[in-house]
A and B are shown apart, each in its own frame.
Chain A
Amino acid sequence: MMNNSRTRALRSIQQWTVGGLLVAGLATAGMSAGLVAGEQATQQPAQQTVQQGVVSTGGQGFSRSAAPLNAPQHTQQAQPQVTTKGS
């Protein structure tokens, strides 16, 4: 199946990458958006989907060993950059 809405969204990024300033590592996400003709884009190596230091359950249920690594850290900083408004 082709995800048309995601393709459109990715093209919106590509339109900002003209001149080879940015990259279009789309293959790493398993997507096939295709570059706009005339663009000079550079392919970057695939990034790991599971970052070091974060435990993913991989769809097999919550992992009981995950919490120590996934726990946030307290800070005395008074001014956050973003807040958890909730939903």
Chain B
Amino acid sequence: MDKRDQNIKKVYTETASAIFKLHSKNMLSEAEMGFLLNFLDLVIKRKNADLINIIRQWNNKNTTSEIDEIIKATLLNLDLSDSSSLVHCKELIEELLASCSEPGHNLQ
């Protein structure tokens, strides 16, 4: 295992442990922990680049708390093994993010 792989592994285990610990301290719900662990696996296995990109866009965008809640609820209900559900989720988040950029959108 080369240095880079070792680092990736370290980040992976540390992140997974941190997610679990946050859940143990009641700072993450059961569903939030489940999603974040699954999402971590996706990132490490470099699967579903589309979903990762859209979440990255969301993270970089200045969105309202209402839109954040809708996106979060959408992600928590997402079945990562279902490709049609993934496509639908991605489209929905894209629309929500696009609506934030439209004129008249209230920035918080």
Partners in one complex: no
